[in-house]
Chain A
Amino acid sequence: MNETVKTVAVKRRSSLGVHWSELTSKYSIYLVLIGMIVVSSFLSPVFLSETNFSNISRQISITTILAFGQTLLIICGMIDLAQGSVMALAGLLAVIFFKMTGQLVPSLFVGVLVGVLCNLASGVIVTNFNTPPFIATLAMQTAARGAALLLTSGQNVYQLKDFVLWGQGILLGIPTPVIFLIGVAIFSWYLLNHWRLGRYIYAIGGNQEAARASGIKIKRTKLMAFGINGVFVGLAGVLYMSRVNAGLPNAGVGFEFDAMTAAIIGGTSFSGGVGTAIGTLAGAFIMGFLSNIMNLLGVQSYLQQVIKGAIIVMAVAYDIASKSKRTKTILGNIQEKTSG
């Protein structure tokens, strides 16, 4: 009898342990995020303030919008190295359009259109010429940057006047870039979770040949993924230029890598077929919190880069390790059931 009670207690503890292990592995990146918030709130008394959170959201809005585009592409087995350059070109053209016409809303559409056209060009090269996305978008990166510099002979454009409303405005107490970020986040989540296109994107990234065999139109899906990325990149360009109140042809250098980092930290896998919009948002906030807390604490510039690199590696390693543990547990359960 005592042995039966002990066995039940052991089985219950083991079951609880398995549940806890599943929870932590599934939500590991969010646990990291919560952990960072808790630790940062002890390190700096102003970290948890409303204005600080508003600042962080505004600061990360542009690279996070890019990160959602990068997430879609990486899940689909592709990548975009041209985000920063196309963002600069799109934003600059939007600025120039506004200065010529004074039309605020159309200037946003100009930026988005430029982003879409550049990305569709990359998409056509990838889908019709079987060029690796790395190469196609690397070429676009160079071309778009050259075009941006050519437009203004390398000079910045000033006196943007009302154009700054896109990046510096406030609506119902929320900064406009954050409103756009929320919109892009909801759209991306809905696309990946509830639209057929989202399922196709996952399928192609998971196994392109199986997706093709099941009737998914590969080229069309990839082009659409690039097109959506183009919308996000164009929007990011308009928000960036308006936030800094200048048309900067050299803007956005390296932004695509920040976007990729946010996506990867959030659980998107370079092997394709894996990733979530919420994970990317969490990854972006992790990076934003890191920069913010180190600036609030006055950590020296060089040390900041070392610490950032170390924490990013630890966050991703913890996430991968907990996912591996979960996979092993699942495989172990399957083996147990099939042999049992």
Chain B
Amino acid sequence: MKLSVKNCLVAAAAIITATVGAADPSDAQGASKYRIAYIARAQGDSFAAWLANEMVAQAKQYPDISATVFDGQSRNDLIEAHIENAVQNKFDLVIIQPYDPPIQLDPVKQAMAKGMKVIATNPKFTDESIPSVDANPYQQGAENAKLAVNQIPKKAQVVVLLGPAGNPHSMGRREAWQKEFFDKRPDVKILDEQIANWNKDEGMRLTEDWIQSHPKIDAVISMNDNMAAGAIEAIKGSGAKSYPLVYGVDGTAEACLLIKDGKMTSTTLQNAHELAVKSMKMAHDMLTGNATNLHDTIQAELITKDNVDKYIELHKQLGDIK
């Protein structure tokens, strides 16, 4: 038989697929007893990627656990498929980071009905029968909002950057800002409020346009650090001599550096490391029959210029800052 380039490529692809497909994730850690499927909402999202990396790292702390990460790619249909596959492939436990909790609720309940153990993290479901480890988005927003009550000047003009439409963390943080700040400071005017989808470039573009139509912006209130950082880039690009007050959430490495530089005011850390530690501990306790607490939360830690060095050090240890 004459070998063509095409046939060789097809054969090579088949061999590679078979080799990869035959690999058992538990082989990497010897004869692991429990297999955990971690379903990330989207590994392309930097926070979700951080959380996924931490989950894998924490799983290695337990010799009787192996964790396999499945990327949901911000798609509800794909996340549902991962849940079903985890049941089919007889994983012992699923830790899920929901993308759209009301939509993921049914597949998770069906998996639990078939005996699958499930933990939800970042965010949790409203159904309290599903164990969870979560940050409290209201608290994340509230810590910044309470600080802003005394920082933002009288009759200030502010702009607000929101996460994706319907996102529970964005909505929770916004609710906190409403109750803890805007309701207490009716003198403050919201010039505009737009969705920037957690993205730095969208936050940047919106702020560039706002600077044109609103020459005086006293504060930028952002539901996450990426969008806040984008706003700061836009302000820098406008040639402004001074920066408005800028608030975010997540405690990313970039936000910590901006706070250190005096360009950002505050953020709250959503500690993926702590989420992973608590999630994996709860998973191990559930699998070994030692679970006592099926709902846990992590605290939102407010980061300002007074304590930012501690968090810069944390990010250095995590490798985010070199």
Contact = CB atoms under 8 A, between A and B. Distances in A.
Instruction: Decide whether A and B are members of one complex.
Output: yes
Interface of A: 44, 46, 49, 51-52, 55, 58-59, 128-129, 145, 149, 153-156, 158-159, 168, 240, 243-246, 248-251, 253, 291-292, 295-298, 300-302
Give chain B's interface secondary structure class. Answer: helix
> How big is chain B's contact interface, by range?
35 or more
B209 A55 contact: yes
Interface in B1-36: 5-6
Contact of A156 (B46, B53, B191): B46
A155 B237 contact: no
Contacts of B206: 295
B238 to A, nearest CB: 8
A158 B194 CA distance: 25
A128 B52 CA distance: 39
| Most chain A C-beta atoms within 10 Å of own C-beta, residue among B45, B195, B209, B237 | B209
A156 to B, nearest CB: 5
Contacts of B191: 298
A292 B206 CA distance: 9
Given A245-B233, A295-B194, 19 more contacts: A44-B213, A52-B212, A153-B49, A154-B43, A156-B252, A159-B322, A168-B233, A243-B233, A248-B46, A251-B201, A295-B205, A295-B209, A295-B213, A296-B213, A298-B213, A301-B162, A301-B165, A301-B195, A302-B165
Given A250-B44, A296-B213, A244 B257 contact: no
Contacts of B257: 158-159
Interface of B: 5-6, 43-46, 48-50, 52-53, 162, 165, 191-192, 194-195, 200-201, 204-206, 208-210, 212-213, 229-230, 233, 236-238, 252-254, 257, 320-322
Contacts of A155: 46, 49-50, 53, 320
Given A250-B44, A301-B194, A156 B254 contact: yes
Nearest to A99: B322
B50 to A, nearest CB: 6
A168 B238 CA distance: 10
Contacts of A51: 212, 238
B209 A246 contact: no
Contact of A253 (B43, B44, B48, B192): B44
Contacts, number: 94
Given A244-B201, A298-B191, A301-B194, A149 B208 contact: no
A65 to B, nearest CB: 15
Nearest to B236: A168
Given A168-B237, A246-B229, A250-B44, A154 B53 contact: yes
B298 to A, nearest CB: 20
23 contacts: A51-B212, A59-B208, A128-B5, A149-B49, A154-B52, A155-B46, A156-B252, A158-B320, A158-B321, A159-B321, A168-B233, A168-B237, A244-B200, A248-B46, A248-B200, A249-B44, A251-B201, A291-B205, A295-B192, A295-B205, A295-B206, A300-B194, A301-B162
A128 B5 CA distance: 10
| Most chain B C-beta atoms within 10 Å of own C-beta, residue among A145, A158, A292 | A158
A258 to B, nearest CB: 12
Contacts of B192: 295, 298
Contacts of A52: 212
A158 B252 CA distance: 10
Contacts of A159: 257, 321-322
B209 A244 contact: no
A154 B52 CA distance: 9
A128 B6 CA distance: 10
Contacts of B253: 158
Nearest to B232: A245
Given A52-B212, A55-B209, A298-B192, A246 B49 contact: no
A99 to B, nearest CB: 8
A230 B257 CA distance: 34
A52 B48 CA distance: 35
B230 A145 contact: no
A154 B44 contact: yes
Given A129-B6, A168-B237, A240-B201, A154 B209 contact: no
Nearest to B6: A129
Contacts of B165: 301-302
Contact of A149 (B43, B236, B252): B43
A301 B202 CA distance: 12
Given A149-B44, A155-B46, A248-B200, A295 B210 contact: yes
Contacts of A251: 201
B235 to A, nearest CB: 12
A51 to B, nearest CB: 6
A291 to B, nearest CB: 8
Contacts of B43: 149, 154
Nearest to B209: A295
Contacts of B209: 55, 291-292, 295-296
Contact of A244 (B52, B194, B204, B252): B204
